[in-house]
Amino acid sequence: MKNLMIVLLMILMSSWNNAILDQKTITGTVYSGTDGKPLQGVLVSVKEASIQTKTDGSGLYKIRVPENRNVLVYSLKTYLTKEIKINGRQLIDAYLSPVPEIKDPEIAHRKHDRGKLIKGTMPAVMEAEMSYDMAYSGNYNHSEVQIPVHNTEEYNSINENIFHSPARNPLSTFSIDVDAASYSNIRRFINASQMPPKDAVRIEEMINYFDYDYPQPEGQDPFSVNTEVAVCPWDTDHYLVHIGLQGKNIATENLPPSNLVFLLDVSGSMNQANKLPLLKSAFKLLVDKLRPEDKVSIVVYAGAAGLVLPPTPGNQKETIIAALDRLQAGGSTAGGQGIKLAYKTARQNYLPEGNNRVILATDGDFNVGESSNAGMERLIEEERKSGVFLTVLGFGMGNYKDSKMEILADKGNGNYAYIDNILEAKKVFVNEFGGTLFTIAKDVKIQVEFNPNVVQAYRLIGYENRKLRDEDFNNDKKDAGELGSGHTVTALYEIIPVGVEDQYTGSIDLLKYQDNGTDKKRNYGHEMMTVKLRYKRPDGNISKLISNIVKNKVTESENTSDNFRFSASVAGFGMILRDSEFKGSTDWKKVIQWAESAKGKDKNGYRAEFIRLIESARLISNS
Q: What H or E segment, with its residue span, contains residue 489?
A: strand 488-497
β-bridge mates for residue 79, sequence order: 98
**pLDDT, average across residues 63-67:** 91
The radius of gyration of the chain's CA atoms, rounded to the nearest angstrom, is 28
Q: Read off the pLDDT band of 378 (50, 70, 90).
A: confident
* Integer Cα distance of 402 and 410 in angstroms: 12
User: Which of the two residues, 377 and 134, has the higher pLDDT score?
Assistant: 377
User: How does pLDDT run across 593-620, given as a tens digit for each residue?
Assistant: 999 999 998 999 999 999 999 999 999 9
Phi then psi for residue 567, to 5 deg, are -65, -35
Lowest-pLDDT choice from 66-80, 134-148, 375-389: 134-148
**pLDDT, average across residues 551-573:** 95
User: How does pLDDT run across 155-183, given as a tens digit for each residue?
Assistant: 999 999 999 999 889 999 999 988 999 99
Q: Read off the pLDDT band of 557 (50, 70, 90).
A: confident
Which pLDDT score, from 0 to 100, does residue 107 have?
36
Which pLDDT score, from 0 to 100, does residue 13 have?
55
pTM, 2 dp: 0.76
* Integer Cα distance of 369 and 39 in angstroms: 34
Lowest-pLDDT choice from 34-43, 196-205, 308-317, 491-500: 34-43
Q: Is 239 helix (H, G, I), strand (E, B) or coil?
A: strand
Using a pLDDT cut of 90, give the percent of the chain over it.
59
Q: What does the mean pLDDT of the chain come to?
A: 85
pLDDT value at 376 more than 80: no
Q: Read off the pLDDT band of 22 (50, 70, 90).
A: low
**pLDDT, average across residues 77-83:** 88
CA 615 to chain CA centroid, nearest Å: 17
Which pLDDT score, from 0 to 100, does residue 116 have?
35
* Integer Cα distance of 224 and 240 in angstroms: 20
Which pLDDT score, from 0 to 100, does residue 112 have?
40
Q: Read off the pLDDT band of 8 (50, 70, 90).
A: low
User: How does pLDDT run across 457-477, given as a tens digit for each residue?
Assistant: 999 999 999 999 999 999 999
pLDDT value at 444 more than 50: yes
* Integer Cα distance of 226 and 218 in angstroms: 13
Which pLDDT score, from 0 to 100, does residue 502 have?
87
Which pLDDT score, from 0 to 100, does residue 515 have?
65
Which pLDDT score, from 0 to 100, does residue 413 have?
83
Which pLDDT score, from 0 to 100, does residue 143 have?
33
Q: Read off the pLDDT band of 238 (50, 70, 90).
A: very high
pLDDT value at 524 more than 90: no
Query: Residue 468 in contact with residue 423, Cβ under 8 Å?
Result: no
Beta strands in 210-368, from DSSP E residues, in sequence order: 223-231, 239-247, 258-265, 295-301, 305-313, 355-362
Which pLDDT score, from 0 to 100, does residue 16 have?
47
pLDDT value at 137 more than 50: no
* Integer Cα distance of 492 and 229 in angstroms: 10
Pick from 49-53, 339-343, 516-520, 530-534 the range whose average pLDDT is largest: 530-534
**pLDDT, average across residues 53-59:** 88
Lowest-pLDDT choice from 92-106, 249-263, 441-455, 529-543: 92-106
User: Which of the two residues, 2 and 206, has the higher pLDDT score?
Assistant: 206
Which amino acid makes up residue 373?
N
Answer positive or negative: Cα dihedral of 432, 434, 438, 441.
negative
Q: Read off the pLDDT band of 297 (50, 70, 90).
A: very high
Calculate the alpha carbon distances from 78 to 39, 81, 140, 315 in Å: 12, 9, 12, 49
User: How does pLDDT run across 450-460, given as a tens digit for each residue?
Assistant: 999 999 999 99
Which pLDDT score, from 0 to 100, does residue 9 have?
56
- Could you tell me which residues come within 8 angstroms of residue 319 by beta carbon, excluding any fewer than 6 positions away? 309, 312
Using a pLDDT cut of 70, give the percent of the chain over it.
84
Which pLDDT score, from 0 to 100, does residue 121 have?
32
* Integer Cα distance of 106 and 111 in angstroms: 9
Calculate the alpha carbon distances from 144 to 87, 139, 436, 574 in Å: 19, 12, 45, 30
Q: Read off the pLDDT band of 87 (50, 70, 90).
A: confident
Q: Read off the pLDDT band of 119 (50, 70, 90).
A: very low
Lowest-pLDDT choice from 473-487, 495-509, 544-558: 495-509
Provide the b/e sequence for 468-498 (b: ≥16 CB within 10 Å). beeebbeeeebbbbbbbbbbbbbbbbbbbbb
User: Which of the two residues, 143 and 402, has the higher pLDDT score?
Assistant: 402
Query: Mind listing the domains of the chain with CATH numbers?
Result: 171-250+440-505+519-622 (2.60.40.1230), 258-436 (3.40.50.410)
Which amino acid makes up residue 138?
G
**pLDDT, average across residues 334-363:** 91
Lowest-pLDDT choice from 25-39, 194-208, 247-261, 466-480: 25-39
User: How does pLDDT run across 239-290, given as a tens digit for each residue?
Assistant: 999 999 999 999 988 999 999 999 999 988 898 888 999 999 999 999 999 9
Burial degree of 4 (CB within 10 A; 0-12, 13-18, 19+): exposed
Pick from 52-61, 133-142, 604-613 the range whose average pLDDT is largest: 604-613
Which pLDDT score, from 0 to 100, does residue 506 have?
76
